Structure 1
Amino acid sequence: MSSYTTISPDKLIRLIGTANTPALIDVRTDEDFAADPRLIPGAIRRNHEEAPGWGEEFSGRSAIVICQRGLKLSVGTAAWLRHLHVSAEALEGGFEGWKAAKLPLVPAAKLPARDAQGRTVWVTRARPKIDRIACPWLIRRFVDPNAVFLFVTPAEVLGVSERFNAAPFDVENVFWSHRGELCTFDVMIEEFGLATPPLLRLAAMVRGADTGRLDLSAEAPGLLAASLGLSRMFDDDLEQLEAGMTLYDAFYRWCRDATGETHNWPTNKAKS
């Protein structure tokens, strides 16, 4: 039974993918991590022995600590973090409990190298419309909440990638790009192990809007209209991305929680 110092997997999965996701901190030992080098979506790795040193970076925030089985490492680290003014909980059952529940896990090997601040860095073409907003949303909500996105002229994407150790995406002849009929958003969902029903529903919307196949999803025309409208509202690609994060937050919550809900008018029409 959950207490104020622990959280269950079913409660945590409802937070992941939203703007209110706590910091997720994986403190498994190197040996345990090597045995299964996957991460709960959005989690970062930290050494439990050094918690008194790194814990202050989470001061004033909420955090969930994950160890192998939800016992001493996560419980002790969470206690240290609370001492540092972090609202910290341990994940019940730890990584093993999450895996047993068949909840999503991201292969660490698929993540790009992190910079000196521990962030993944990505680069793509400037003036994004659909895929180049959807993919950053997916990365920040499910892979790396601190990810950095560089928007540059198309001719410079690969050069910037090489010089700044950034992962290129949504350009031709790179790993993170369209494959056959799949758009880059589809590819990221597959490669990162995130094929949940809500994200697959959202992926159909993105694919339909991004590739001109509006028949793939009844909502694709609406996503296309909203995306093109956003692109006209903002000259700054990063400002557009921030607005797009809210747009995709809304579409994701609809995909997850509200597909069966309808709306009509008048609401209090008398029955005959």
Structure 2
Amino acid sequence: MTDYAIGDIQGCYDRLLEVLAIIGFSPSRDRLWVAGDIINRGPSSLATLRYIERLQASAEVVLGNHDLHLLAVALGGHKTRGKDTLDDILQAPDHDRLIEWLRQQQLCVYDPDRNFLMAHAGLPHIWSVEQALGYAKELAGVIRGPEAAEYFTHMYGNEPARWRENLTGMDRWRAATNYFTRMRFIAADGTLELATKESAGESPAGYSPWFNFPRPDKIRVIFGHWAALEGNTPDDQFIGLDTGCVWGGALTVMNLDTGEKTHCDC
């Protein structure tokens, strides 16, 4: 069995099948770690979501901001936006099953044997691995539980911008969501800057890319979300797999044991 991790697919179903064919992926033998943003902006969100859902135990999935956006539309009363490609999912006959499956996915996954953690946006330096796993479990419980409608109704927003352990309720949930799924630039005290989406060299004053802060635990972090990086980070401890397929870049898959990356042009 081979484990692979894949970056943001965002509804690019044909490219997903192409890159999986290149590596000879077989669900009966292999496992696919999906770094979030399965759907949205690409042409085939429904087909992509159905494919990943059918993998069942052959997939490890973390939620990205676009995946949460679909849930917010379906469960929180929000409207789709101009560039969204979610209508095929929302109108599908298996819509309820797909939405429920998506709600069951995680915010981060951890493999202690390989010493890596995968989260859509990454792992802030202010959290240990144990803290991140705890906050992810807490937030997943909200998404799966009776407070989901409240959460998705009020999920959007940039405040509070800094994590504090004494945060409660919606402030706590929203802050954790932003670290797991929207983080790019961060200050030394953990304050997030969520407006800037440019490359790592375009840091706002007082902020740096989250992976520029050293981690004493040396955990390897696999993430997506930041297409402007084109997969480039200054240290192979931090592995960016969003190479901008939906924007005409590439879709990237990495063998988790060898580190070999395979791309298909988009």
TM-score relative to the length of structure 1: 0.26
TM-score relative to the length of structure 2: 0.27
Q: Which protein shows a greater Rg?
A: 1
Q: RCO higher in 1 or 2 (8 Å CA, sep ≥ 6)? A: 2
Which structure shows the bigger proportion of residues in helix conformation? 1
